[in-house]
Amino acid sequence: MARDPAVPRHVAIVMDGNGRWAKKRFLPRFFGHKAGVDALVKVINACADRGVEYLTVFAFSSENWKRPEDEVSGLMGLVIVAVTKYLAKLARDGVRITIVGDRSTVSERLRAAWAEAEDSTQHNHRITLSVAFNYGGRWDVVQACQQALAAGLKPEQITEAALSGFMAMRHAPDPDLFIRTGGEVRISNFLLWQVAYSELVFTDCLWPDFGVAELDAALADYAGRDRRFGRVDSGSGPA
């Protein structure tokens, strides 16, 4: 079946606002992140139902280590809890899970949880969920250059296409639609290389409150955009 060009193939999301969501309820920030995982599971399935093939979410940035120690360890622990609670369901739902980011500085327990999530879903193809964890867009560009040099590429061989092949997101096309919840209007070092021509949607909705209605509003916004990729005429994208 032909793809509907009005539906983005790849959606990337900065899931911001968990802390404020919890604060509004007089709860510790951790509860906001916990509610954020529940919101994410719903959004994964809604995206797949609408024909989105890749969903990439920012779960922990290279800069998030600067948060209070208990919040950092809470987020690490939440991954283990989320994998235990939701992995079987996501696997059944046809979700392929991949992790992008620097694994060298996370605990052995976390690496094992990620490996289990990746291994048990590797043959699924309804939608690919990439979880950016200990990830930064600048880190990715640097590690791609390091890999290219280690592979023996000469300066003239360092092209955009060659470098893309060493990026952590090399398994996916560039995001068509970039969504940030929580009211801030910035990229925050997420997928810097890949968002060059993404359509950007910012919403005040706090991430745990982001559901099917908010997703559909963002998709409708995207469907009305005129994607030109630097050209004067209309591109092949929506509208």
Q: Cβ 106 to ligand FPP, closest distance in Å?
A: 12
Any catalytic annotation for residue 45?
Answer: no
Structure tokens at 44: 């994964």
Handedness of CA 218, 221, 227, 229 (dihedral sign): negative
Which member of 19, 74, 137, 238 binds ligand FPP (CB under 6 A)?
A: 19
Q: Cβ 112 to ligand FPP, closest distance in Å?
A: 14
The angle subtended at Cα 169 by Cα 163 and Cα 171, nearest 5°, is 100
> Which CB atom, from 164 or from 189, has the smaller least distance to ligand FPP?
189
Of the candidate spans 30-38, 99-107, 192-200, 211-219, the one that interacts with ligand FPP by CB under 6 A turns out to be 30-38
CB 226 within 8 A of CB 234: yes
- The residue annotated as part of the active site, out of 18, 45, 64, 216, is 64
Structure tokens at 9: 């193939």
Q: Does 74 bind ligand FPP (CB under 6 A)?
A: no
Q: Does 227 bind ligand FPP (CB under 6 A)?
A: no
Any catalytic annotation for residue 134?
Answer: no
Which member of 8, 182, 237, 238 binds ligand FPP (CB under 6 A)?
A: 182
CB 18 within 8 A of CB 33: yes
Q: Does 180 bind ligand FPP (CB under 6 A)?
A: no
Q: Give CA separation, 211 vs 37, 119, 181, in Å.
A: 12, 28, 11
The per-residue b/e assignment along 158-187, b for 16 or more CB within 10 angstroms, e otherwise, is eeeeebeebbbbeebebbbbbbbbbeeeee
Q: Does 90 bind ligand FPP (CB under 6 A)?
A: no
CB 127 within 8 A of CB 57: no
Q: Cβ 73 to ligand FPP, closest distance in Å?
A: 13
Which member of 11, 13, 16, 135 binds ligand FPP (CB under 6 A)?
A: 16
Q: Does 126 bind ligand FPP (CB under 6 A)?
A: no
The per-residue b/e assignment along 103-125, b for 16 or more CB within 10 angstroms, e otherwise, is eeebeeebeebbeebeebbeebe
Instruction: List residues with catalytic annotation.
Output: 16, 64
Residues of this chain that bind ligand FPP (CB under 6 A): 15-20, 33, 36-37, 40, 59, 64, 78-79, 82, 131, 182
